[in-house]
Structure 1
């Protein structure tokens, strides 16, 4: 996952609970077994550089077999020529063929982590101060472990689902260069029948830790922005640096970058972002909450939009954004630059297109000598927002009321991107479920990634019950 959902509630909520770091969940036998599964998955390096997703998938398959799954129910796939990029799809056929299947989707690859940068060993699970530390503890091995563990527990207990349950553990979700193969994409293009389902549960939900501990909200990711990358390129003949010329590729590029930085796309809400503003705004008793509710009711309200846009995270929720992320120019210290380039990363809201975004950038720059080119990065499909389906949302609310009384369920729109974009290509509506919340300093994609032990264990119980609720029909 590229970024956590925009759950932007900062007001204190009346949640009576001990701080997460002070809670030590009891050593239930099932939690001991789960922790071992989680540890093994965490300590199996699955980075794209030197890691091995195939090994991790095989480890989970071994555990599923021990619980009673047959080889016929398990598909360990390895894309041709990609020995380290394998994954696993498990299919547990339900008793009612009329009920559409449920797909549990999680990625088992992780972002790179350098030992010299981390306080602790990044590929060793360390429990400290109420948190689990290691690369992948939150993104996305917690959910992968919980999904796998739930199927193991249910099969071992003799459970009989009415609805068919599928589990897909894929590699390459974190890839952002042409050398990384996305497993979800490969399955969609080569083995779509393995993923075909009535709906899918995915990463991207969660929520933030309340001031007193526990979840502040139960976020359900329903929509997400679509990432697109563009290259600004300026070329000219160059020359010797001892004779500077007014037409300098770096200067021209710098001027173009500043113009991109000044672009503010219009507010573009959809049913999900409007629902988020209305429900999250109702929890706040300050001016921001008022602005959220106002904009939800009247998206054209300029004053409310202006007030919310002052917050970077809220601004990212309201509109398409583009930002310079890469810069390169020149070929020698004593030569005028012949080429200068900048990478522009855009996050496009549902309802707008990459072509429209590129045209807006070009219009803002208004310089024919600055080319706006598509990046060579293998882009995801444009995100398709699934419906706010009561059949999906109601169980989330019902099970949530049991595990987290009084905590509201709020639809969210992620400013990042997940593999839900690929599932939409085969007609599978995908929802990022809640249960695994964080305190805003989880270190996802960064240093010292961590997951609250309280969130992990309580979220595991919640997700396990949620899976059973859907599986029952």
Structure 2
């Protein structure tokens, strides 16, 4: 679920939305190695991996077969299938390093995709189409682009005879786009040695193009908010509607929701957001730049906070947010309600315990008659991964080769990826793809999903170099 393009409308004053993405001319002089990658990418995109009728297991087996054909032994390429979820298998592979004392790196991507109705699409969503400089198809961007790059890189490294210093592990998993079974969660719980690593590279951040197709910023995700739903419930004895009583479950719940709606959690910086608001200053209006500068100096500055948080995305980056999303009440039109419930959806800043948020919501509701429960199992609160020189140095080095002068901007993801599981498990996870796209989202989760061909090939070169820098060896 790639939702990392945080250049909002306010931030794009000088960067108009791409009016006609298909005007970009197709790339020329495709290299032989790029043609081979395209074959792998095509195979992966054209395997339907939707939850309804698709099969991640089939996709995992196809990529596994390619790795074995490239020389990987059976012991280093495993398709892991949970018996109760036979179509939701994952592929785990490893290129062995020369130094057993060096902790591995993990290349993570999900291979399941959002549903796609052929009748609604201009082209068949499960046929890779290259047209006017773009690849079209479900998953071309989210997230089979990175999954294909990871598999292709492991094949290239093997064929090059590359000997990394540390193990390079890869996990192509299922379940990121749906509720229920999740492949990386299962691997972490039941097969931890297969995916254990010092840190992981994942989706969650891209690059942004302006309307002329010029690279504007390259994003690096360092942390994501934790998704948590709370159920609020008020119960009363009820009675006949002709005899209203003082206590009414609907009114009580409504009053509590009003108080929650008026409350704002305090702002807090992490490395990623402080870096973002520092580096974005030259790219926004003068008023916004001044507010960002003041906010970086003092996050409690009321005037600066008001200006910056007027943008909903920026507000979400700075604080935990909670909002009512569903309500249900009553059992008959002529009866007093015996029960009223609401769902409050929270996106919690990394490192903030879920129970702390729950307690604050109950305090703000200020009514002991309102019961608060977790709508689902709480995710483990985990600190955001640090943007150390060891992480940022290779990114800066490889980016400079392809996009000299393009700034690298750290971000906090306000949506969600599988990084929420690896971070919580103690594996710092960074979103970095090097794949540049338009500010309109390129149809991710919607119709006619696409990725620019040039961007995909460049992202492939970027990530391949990045893997080598992180893994060491020769």
User: What is the TM-score with the length of structure 1 in the denominator?
Assistant: 0.91
Hey, what's the Cα distance between the residues in 2 that align with 1:448 and 1:309?
32
Hey, what's the Cα distance between the residues in 1 that align with 2:5 and 2:362?
29
Alignment of 1:286-365 (within 5 A): 286-332=286-332, 335-365=335-365
Hey, what's the Cα distance between the residues in 2 that align with 1:260 and 1:66?
57
- Of residues 45, 59, 62 in structure 1, which corresponds to 2:62? 59
Hey, what's the Cα distance between the residues in 2 that align with 1:444 and 1:246?
50
Contact persistence 1:5–1:412 (CA under 8 A): no
The residue number in structure 2 matching 1:427 is 426
Superposed CA deviations along residues 398-445 of structure 1, whole A, max 9, x for unmatched, are: 110001110011221111222223223443222111402322322333
Hey, what's the Cα distance between the residues in 2 that align with 1:124 and 1:242?
62
Residues 1:35 and 2:34 aligned together: no
User: CA offset at residue 342 of structure 1?
Assistant: 1.8
Change (3 A) 1:341 1:51: farther
SS of the aligned residue for 1:163 comes to coil
The residue number in structure 2 matching 1:418 is 417
User: CA offset at residue 453 of structure 1?
Assistant: 2.3
Hey, what's the Cα distance between the residues in 2 that align with 1:360 and 1:440?
35
Contact persistence 2:7–2:439 (CA under 8 A): no
Hey, what's the Cα distance between the residues in 2 that align with 1:50 and 1:379?
29
SS of the aligned residue for 2:220 comes to strand
**Stretch deviating more after TM superposition (256-265 or 456-465):** 256-265
Superposed CA deviations along residues 85-144 of structure 1, whole A, max 9, x for unmatched, are: 210111111223343222101111223334455454433333344333333222211111
SS of the aligned residue for 2:380 comes to coil
Change (3 A) 1:3 1:246: farther
Alignment of 1:104-123 (within 5 A): 104-123=107-126
User: CA offset at residue 22 of structure 1?
Assistant: 1.1
The residue number in structure 2 matching 1:25 is 27
User: CA offset at residue 466 of structure 1?
Assistant: 1.5
- Of residues 6, 9, 12 in structure 2, which corresponds to 1:10? 12
SS of the aligned residue for 2:280 comes to helix
Contact persistence 1:7–1:219 (CA under 8 A): no
The residue number in structure 2 matching 1:172 is 175
The residue number in structure 2 matching 1:384 is 383
SS of the aligned residue for 1:201 comes to strand
Change (3 A) 1:114 1:380: farther
The residue number in structure 2 matching 1:190 is 190
Any gaps of 5 or more consecutive residues in structure 2?
none
User: CA offset at residue 275 of structure 1?
Assistant: 1.5
Change (3 A) 1:446 1:384: farther
Hey, what's the Cα distance between the residues in 2 that align with 1:23 and 1:459?
18
Any gaps of 5 or more consecutive residues in structure 1?
none
The residue number in structure 2 matching 1:92 is 95
- Of residues 45, 50, 75 in structure 2, which corresponds to 1:47? 50
CA RMSD after TM alignment: 2.5
Hey, what's the Cα distance between the residues in 1 that align with 2:132 and 2:238?
58
Hey, what's the Cα distance between the residues in 2 that align with 1:371 and 1:307?
35
Hey, what's the Cα distance between the residues in 1 that align with 2:124 and 2:327?
32
The residue number in structure 2 matching 1:142 is 145
**Stretch deviating more after TM superposition (112-121 or 78-87):** 112-121
Hey, what's the Cα distance between the residues in 2 that align with 1:322 and 1:130?
41
The residue number in structure 2 matching 1:205 is 205
Contact persistence 1:221–1:411 (CA under 8 A): yes
Change (3 A) 1:258 1:249: same
SS of the aligned residue for 1:464 comes to helix
Change (3 A) 1:458 1:469: same
Hey, what's the Cα distance between the residues in 2 that align with 1:452 and 1:330?
51
Change (3 A) 1:47 1:461: same
User: What is the TM-score with the length of structure 2 in the denominator?
Assistant: 0.90
Hey, what's the Cα distance between the residues in 2 that align with 1:448 and 1:368?
49
SS of the aligned residue for 2:384 comes to coil
- Of residues 130, 135, 151 in structure 1, which corresponds to 2:133? 130
